[in-house]
Each structure stands twice: as structure tokens, then as C-alpha cells.
């Protein structure tokens, strides 16, 4: 089964999933931004992005549509082999939803894990040399 490797802070876990949702709160506008990612043979692919409102540095692109009070669109970006997240206490934590569970990165790994690396996982996950 396809999986997601989540690694950082000397720890690594594999989550059995074919996709995940990553969300966070914009530090200036204090509104939620979310991205739905798929794990494909060619890498991680962002399939959909959504924001609750527009504002500083987060205007919806052309082609975005309003659905249930959110601007939703399909980003046009190539697959990536790894997604690196940086974390800072003053910015709040990322939320990762996968395999039926939604948790902060601190709950998936550790509170001090920074940077955090997300990548496709076919086998076991190993912590990166942070």
C-alpha cells in the first residue's frame, strides 16, 4: 500500500494512506488555508487548495471557485519528491489529516521537530539527518 513518510526531530513514521490534507492558519489574516495532496508513483501532487478568504499574500488565483464559503482551485504545479515544512511557535502548527486522523505535526511527531519532511513511502521510513 502507498504511504506517507513523515520525518523530523529524529523521528519518522509511515502513515498508510494514498493522500492527505495539510492545513494551517495564515499568520496575518488568521484564516485557514488547506491543500489536499495525493501520493502517486511520480511523487506528491497537490490536487486541490482552498482558502476561507482573500488577504495579504493569499489571493485566490484565476479559476478559483467559491464552494461552501471557501475559494477552491486546482494548482498547476508538477509532482514533488519531498515537501519540507518549517515550524515556529509564533506561527501555530500545521495540521495533517491522513488515514482518518487529523493531528498537529507536534502530535504526529514531536513539538520540536523542525524541519519536517513529507515524502512518498513504499517501504519503511527513516529519520533524516536534521
pLDDT digit string (tens) for 37-81?
Answer: 999 999 999 999 998 876 666 677 788 898 898 899 999 999 999
Cis peptide preceding 123, ω within 30 of 0: no
Does residue 124 belong to any structural domain of this protein?
A: no
pTM attached to this predicted model: 0.88
Does residue 63 belong to any structural domain of this protein?
A: yes
Query: Do the beta carbons of residue 99 and residue 15 sit within 8 Å?
Result: yes
Instruction: Please state the length of the chain.
Output: 130
Question: What's the domain count of the chain?
Answer: 1
Does residue 122 belong to any structural domain of this protein?
A: no
Give the three cell numbers for residue 108. Answer: 504526529
For the stretch 89-99, pLDDT in tens is 877 899 999 99
Does residue 125 belong to any structural domain of this protein?
A: no
Does residue 38 belong to any structural domain of this protein?
A: yes
Does residue 62 belong to any structural domain of this protein?
A: yes
Containing H/E element for 95? strand 95-98
- Report the distance separating Cα 130 and Cα 123, nearest Å: 21
The whole-number pLDDT of residue 91 equals 78
Range of the domain at 91: 3-117
Amino acid at each position: 500500500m502507498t504511504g506517507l513518510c513523515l520525518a523530523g526531530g529524529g523521528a519518522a513514521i509511515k502513515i498508510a494512506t494514498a493522500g492527505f490534507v495539510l492545513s494551517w492558519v495564515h499568520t496575518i489574516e488568521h484564516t485557514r488555508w488547506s491543500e489536499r495532496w495525493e501520493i502517486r508513483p511520480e511523487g506528491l501532487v497537490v490536487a486541490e487548495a482552498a482558502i476561507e478568504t482573500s488577504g495579504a499574500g493569499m489571493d485566490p488565483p484565476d479559476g478559483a471557485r467559491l464552494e461552501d464559503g471557501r475559494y477552491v482551485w486546482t494548482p498547476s504545479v508538477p509532482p514533488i519528491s519531498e515537501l519540507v515544512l518549517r515550524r515556529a511557535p509564533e506561527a501555530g502548527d500545521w495540521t495533517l489529516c491522513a488515514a482518518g486522523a487529523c493531528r498537529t505535526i507536534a502530535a504526529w511527531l514531536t513539538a520540536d521537530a523542525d524541519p519536517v519532511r513529507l515524502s512518498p513511502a513504499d517501504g519503511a521510513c527513516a529519520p533524516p539527518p536534521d
